Structure 1
């Protein structure tokens, strides 16, 4: 073999080895439908510096459609907050309203299909303070879960709706 052929073969072999050993840098992007949201930008602890931009994207989105209760970065916080009640909330969140926003508060409501009067949940997220409250209505009993004992101030239409729910299920004590 002549010198040019050896050189060409060496360059070709080196290029092949270099290309085959190179790390893959292009990753496939997930596809989403119009109700999906990618929440990986949220951090899983309550020390998020400014979550408002990502959380505000939830307005008018479905909790079920975004898989917010199970796949969002806030899901571990919800699980910690609710403890043993978390699985029930996920199971019974069948009928719902989309996220609404009033000032710095996001709200969504969900309940057990065909049994909303016995099992329903109101999820409130204070975007400014990055705290979560969940109001659980179960068989005429109201349980309020407050992240870090922080009580979100609920007012105006959210408060009216919450009071109507309390009246409708005849909350005890």
Structure 2
């Protein structure tokens, strides 16, 4: 659809350039006419580029908004177990967690065995899990700030915990306490 629009813009500008050329007075020399025509074509190309840039900007904005789909649906999950509702496979959470954690996403899923029920308090979701019989190492915590639409994760492995934040902000205190 966008390619059709781009082609229509190009055709429109080409027809306009031809019309302008045809309407030029015959008294000017051909080099003057060519110079004016080139100048008008350049102006039309600049306008076409501006239109294309606006289209690309709106596409990028829409893509960013879909990447950051609202976490408000999480408010319904209080008291449920992540495994029972397939939380880590949720169509909104999974891509965001994969982007946030990179290769650590698969690791987190692999150790997500013994889990706590989801707790929601003051717009914050909290749940954690660990590998069975591990005593908490390895383990992971998932938090979501539903008012800020931000995910936080901490993963403990070999005694060291790493904290991840979607927007680079400090993780909620409860997650930091777990990581320490």
- Same fold flag (TM > 0.5): yes
Q: Return 5+ residue gaps in structure 2 as ranges.
A: 1-64
Once the two structures are superposed, residues 108-129 of structure 1 have per-residue CA deviations (whole angstroms, 9 ceiling, x without a partner) of: 0011011133211011100100
Please say if residues 163 and 171 of structure 2, whose CA atoms lie closer than 8 Å, have aligned partners that are also in contact: no
Alignment correspondent of 2:114 = 95
Alignment correspondent of 2:97 = 78
Alignment correspondent of 1:137 = 156
Alignment correspondent of 1:46 = 68
Please say if residues 115 and 128 of structure 2, whose CA atoms lie closer than 8 Å, have aligned partners that are also in contact: yes
- Whose radius of gyration is greater, 1 or 2? 2
Q: Return 5+ residue gaps in structure 1 as ranges.
A: 1-42
How far residue 100 of structure 1 moved from its aligned partner, in angstroms, is: 0.2
Tell me how many residue pairs correspond in the alignment: 116
How far residue 102 of structure 1 moved from its aligned partner, in angstroms, is: 1.7
1:64 and 2:83 are equivalent in the alignment = yes
Please say if residues 96 and 109 of structure 1, whose CA atoms lie closer than 8 Å, have aligned partners that are also in contact: yes
Alignment correspondent of 2:140 = 121
The Cα RMSD (Å) is 2.0
Q: TM-score, normalised by structure 1?
A: 0.61
Q: Distance in 1 between matches of 2:155 and 2:120?
A: 20
Task: Return structure 1 stretches of 4+ with deviation > 4 angstroms.
Answer: none
Once the two structures are superposed, residues 125-167 of structure 1 have per-residue CA deviations (whole angstroms, 9 ceiling, x without a partner) of: 001001000011111101001102132432xxx36xx63x45x
How far residue 44 of structure 1 moved from its aligned partner, in angstroms, is: 5.2
